[in-house]
Homo-oligomer: A and B are copies of this chain.
């Protein structure tokens, strides 16, 4: 699939950081930065934009905040050849704490929101736009949203100045047919917008659903090295780059970085397909219960977990 409009956004540090409170050391982040640059990836989402008053630096690593000094340390003295993105969650960042783009190494700010937060998300994203940033709104957990609420949110988004809207499968609940149907709806309701996709791998469909999105005309594609990310993880970047036939991409630096930096983390934290994540995905539930199980000593007690999830969903 060669389409020059396609942009690849690597979320390794940002989404992977959900599994270790962004405690990646500089060596890790620099290697990822260099590998993505060499591989021709368009954006590196390096973390969250959060106010220092909202989270403690003793608990959270630098990529929970994306302070300019931290970004500068990663870039070093050479020219930055990849765009930096940071994600902002509604209510966790004060407008005043967002620098002007001209004072920042960030290029894009992506605002993640649930459907009931769309108005607040538009206000925040447009504020970032006015400060000079590229912006997106990433509408999360749409697998749980009723059709009227979704239509209303898309209506609001269509009227906003935010140019890029993301379809997000937060719970890893979607099949390719769901991506087909939602992509068609997003294009119909958001005729002037660029659409992006962010998939999770609960049902081993993160990559497949990203391909479905591409086939449907979606051009902003999220992925991570070796799929690292919350719970079942994300669409693996190495698979996505191998699929995209754009000659600007090179998968080899990604393989090298996985070997050097991701494998050590794979021994310390658990992400990727497992039956508990499958269970929450199939039942269209937040992965938090599955994550709690996978972080406990009971991670192999999958039948007990399956029963508890099925029972709690039946009694909704």
Contact = CB atoms under 8 A, between A and B. Distances in A.
Interface of A: 175-177, 201, 203-209, 211-212, 215, 226, 236, 238-239, 242-243, 251-252, 255-256, 258-259, 263, 272-273, 275, 278-279, 282, 300-303, 306-307, 310
B252 A303 contact: yes
B206 A204 contact: yes
Contacts of A242: 203, 278, 282
A103 to B, nearest CB: 38
A306 B211 contact: no
Given A176-B211, A204-B206, 12 more contacts: A175-B243, A204-B204, A204-B207, A205-B208, A236-B273, A242-B282, A252-B303, A252-B307, A255-B279, A255-B306, A259-B275, A259-B302
A300 B263 CA distance: 8
Given A175-B211, A208-B176, A203 B239 contact: yes
The interface centre, meaning the residue of A212, A251, A303 with most chain B CB atoms within 10 A of its CB, is A303
24 contacts: A176-B176, A176-B208, A176-B211, A176-B212, A177-B215, A201-B204, A203-B242, A204-B204, A204-B208, A204-B239, A205-B208, A207-B208, A208-B209, A226-B275, A236-B278, A239-B278, A242-B282, A252-B303, A255-B303, A256-B303, A259-B275, A259-B300, A259-B302, A259-B303
